[in-house]
Structure 1
Amino acid sequence: MPVVQGMSRKGNCRDNTVAETFIKTMKTEMVYHHKFATRQEASLAVFEYIEGWYNKKRRHAALGYLTPCQYESLL
C-alpha cells in the first residue's frame, strides 16, 4: 500500500501537534478562566472564542503577526 503524503503513521508523536497546541492555548486563554454550568454553555463559549477571538482578533507569530482571517484573505 503506498504512503500518502501528509497521512499520519501509527506511533508518530507529531501527528496531533497543531491540534494539541490549539487546545492548550484555548484552555489557557479561555477555559480555565470560566466555570460553565452546562455543556451547552461551554460549547457556546468555545464557539465564541474560536469565531470571535481566535480567528478574527488574535495575532499569530507563525502567520507574521496577522490574524488567521487576515492571513487567509492574503491567499
Structure 2
Amino acid sequence: MPCGYNAAATEAFFYTLKTQLTHHERFMDKYEVELGLFNYIETCYNRRRRHTAIGCRITAEFELYIKAYVV
C-alpha cells in the first residue's frame, strides 16, 4: 500500500513541473521534451529543492559542506 507522504511529494513535483516547465514551452518532438525535462530537473528543481535526507539542505549547500568538512 503506498504511503500518503510519497503521493504528496509526487503530486507536488508534478504540479511544479507542470506550472514551471510545460506552461511556458512548446515542444516540437520527443527529443525536445526529454531535453527540457532533463534541464528542468537538473538545473532548476534539484538545485532549489531541500532534501530531508541531507539535513533539509539544498544540494549545492550540502556539496559545499562535504568539501569543507570531509576529506
The TM tier, using the shorter chain, reads 0.5 to 0.7
Instruction: Give the TM-score normalised by the residue count of structure 2.
Output: 0.63
1:32-58 CA-to-partner distances (Å, cap 9, x unmatched) read 1000001110111011001011112x2
The residue number in structure 2 matching 1:6 is: none
- RMSD, aligned α-carbons: 2.5
Structure 1 unmatched runs, 5+: 1-8
From 31, 37, 51, the counterpart of 1:46 = 37
Deviation at 1:59, TM superposition (A): 5.1
Q: Which has the higher strand share?
A: 2
Deviation at 1:70, TM superposition (A): 3.7
Identity %: 28
The residue number in structure 1 matching 2:21 is: 30
Instruction: Classify the secondary structure of the residue corresponding to 1:32.
Output: helix
* One-letter code aligned to 2:26: K
Instruction: Give the TM-score normalised by the residue count of structure 1.
Output: 0.61
Report the Cα distance in structure 1 between the residues aligned to 2:15 and 2:34, rounded to whole angstroms: 16
* One-letter code aligned to 2:33: A
The residue number in structure 2 matching 1:21 is: 12
The residue number in structure 2 matching 1:5 is: none
Report the Cα distance in structure 1 between the residues aligned to 2:34 and 2:49, rounded to whole angstroms: 23
